[in-house]
Amino acid sequence: MNPDASRDESLNVEHIVPTPSTFISDQLPKMSAMLKQACPSDAVIRFEYDGQLRVHIDVRRFEDMAQVESMLPSLCGGIFGDVQRGLAKHHSFFHRVSALVAR
């Protein structure tokens, strides 16, 4: 290979500038939108991070809680696991479904 030819080729190479990773900030709105479509319209959806990312979905009716609890593991490619139910904090008469987010 001619040394002059390799210099010409290197001038055509575009430098890649590293961009900051926005994986979580890109994924949370997508997950929220998917959950809003799948949950009852009056559901309150929140994410919490305390070493692990969790989603909390508060619903009014017990039947809605059972529905959310059963469909949650199949949403978003199965990223929601360890599904638990309980009472919603700071929302009287709401039921809470919580799950660990595996991303």
Q: Give the tens place of pLDDT for each residue, 86-100.
A: 887 776 778 999 999
Q: Whole-model pTM above 0.95?
A: no
Q: What is the pLDDT of residues 32-51, one digit of tens each?
A: 999 999 999 999 999 999 89
Decide if 66 contacts 87 (C-beta within 8 A): no
In which element (H, E) is residue 25 found?
Answer: helix 23-38
Distance CA 10, CA 4 (A): 10
Distance CA 78, CA 71 (A): 10
Choice between 94 and 11, residue whose per-residue pLDDT is larger:
94
Distances (CA, A) of 98 to 73, 76, 81, 85, 102: 11, 15, 9, 6, 13
What mean pLDDT, rounded, does the chain reach?
A: 82
